[in-house]
Amino acid sequence: MPDTGSAPEPLRVGVVGLGFAGTTALDAFSSLPGVEVVAIAGQEQPRLDELADSRGVPNRYHDWEDLVARDDLDVVTVGVPNHLHAPIAIAALSSGKHVFCEKPLAPTGGLAQSMVDAARKADRVLEIAFNHRRRADVQYLRRYLDEHDIGRIYHARSSWRRRAGIPGLGSWFTNREMAGGGPMVDLGPHMLDIALHLMDEPRVERVSAVAYGELGRGGRGGSTAAKTTGGNRAFEVEDFASALLRLDTGGSIHLETSWASYSADEEDISVELLGATGGVRLFIRDYATDGTIRLYGEEAGAPVVTIPTVHVPAGHHLAVIREFVATVRSGQWANAYGDYALHRSRVIDAVYQSAEEHREVEVA
């Protein structure tokens, strides 16, 4: 066929969820050329109407099942409480849709595995919202490490710590069945993802961890800003977890997450890599967009600290969604069934198992 120069068919997207995740996905997909959000689902009727009306989405549903049942969607996005990720993703994949899913892939590694299996079986893309990895400062560090030798990177410290940031005390976030866990399942996937990405994707083999829920159980440490849904539940998860991860490279990662603690933490994201001949540090306080990187080395026998000027524009969800759309359009997705997100879920399973059993455990 001669190339007529006509544009490809628009990609038709259905968005599930009306909170931060759903709204962010809706706006990101809608902003891309050749992409149409044609359906949206969520249970808060006024918000559903407001979003659908203001963004011109023609079809709206209360329940995700009715959206996924449509046979004219190419993509379903999943921005709902964690326990619904697997059922929605598996139903969408099995009916031939590509899926863009929020982190964590699922509350447990077993459920995450069933999602990846469904993607492989249906031969559809399963992508996960690791938006923080797409920050310009993280990408700068990735490029810096590609272009500079800091020797063997033997250890990383990766943490997300809050002073008082339990996202909705009593919401689905603090319910074990719905969330799967506390900050380790909520913030941990991002911090593990950034560390593994910067360390060239080693495999985590063994984990030794602790977890506590001292503040949340006493009704302390709640975020005043959280607008999450599903209130009035008991606090059943940890508010602090800390883990030592042993890697197949012989290296290690100290992964720490907290929603709340009596400490100097505010809203602190930190990743440090220790190399044999140099080091790097990312420190983001309160979602800072400048001055977040330090590079450590040695010159003429003296320690040197370099502070690169890297500004972090907004739009990290847009970046990962743009990559997802490009993968779908390319028709080449044999490596895009969600396996790398599955490994992160398996590691987090091992963190909880280790904390519960008070011993080092192997990652499945």
Residues that bind ligand NAD (CB under 6 A): 16-22, 41-44, 63-64, 79-82, 84, 102-103, 129, 131, 186, 228-229
For ligand NAD, which residue has the nearest CB? 19
How far apart are the C-alpha atoms of 330 and 27, rounded to whole Å? Answer: 22
102 vs 256 by CB, closer to ligand NAD: 102
Q: How far is the CB of 270 from ligand NAD (least distance, A)?
A: 17
44 vs 50 by CB, closer to ligand NAD: 44
13 vs 41 by CB, closer to ligand NAD: 41
Alpha helix positions (H), 294-358: 316-330, 339-357
Q: How far is the CB of 231 from ligand NAD (least distance, A)?
A: 10
Q: How far is the CB of 79 from ligand NAD (least distance, A)?
A: 5
44 vs 266 by CB, closer to ligand NAD: 44
- Tokens standing for 86? 């697997």
Confirm if 307 and 293 have CB atoms less than 8 A apart: yes
66, 131, 133, 245 alpha-carbon torsion, rounded to 10°: -50
Q: Is 77 helix (H, G, I), strand (E, B) or coil?
A: strand
DSSP string, 121-186: HHT--EEE---GGGSHHHHHHHHHHHHS----EEEEEEEEEESB-BSSTTSGGG-HHHHSSSHHHH
22 vs 221 by CB, closer to ligand NAD: 22
The amino acid occupying position 298 is E
Confirm if 105 and 82 have CB atoms less than 8 A apart: no
Q: How far is the CB of 64 from ligand NAD (least distance, A)?
A: 4
191 vs 247 by CB, closer to ligand NAD: 191
Residue identified by tokens 């996905």 is 25
Which DSSP symbol is given to 53? H
Q: How far is the CB of 300 from ligand NAD (least distance, A)?
A: 43
Q: How far is the CB of 342 from ligand NAD (least distance, A)?
A: 16
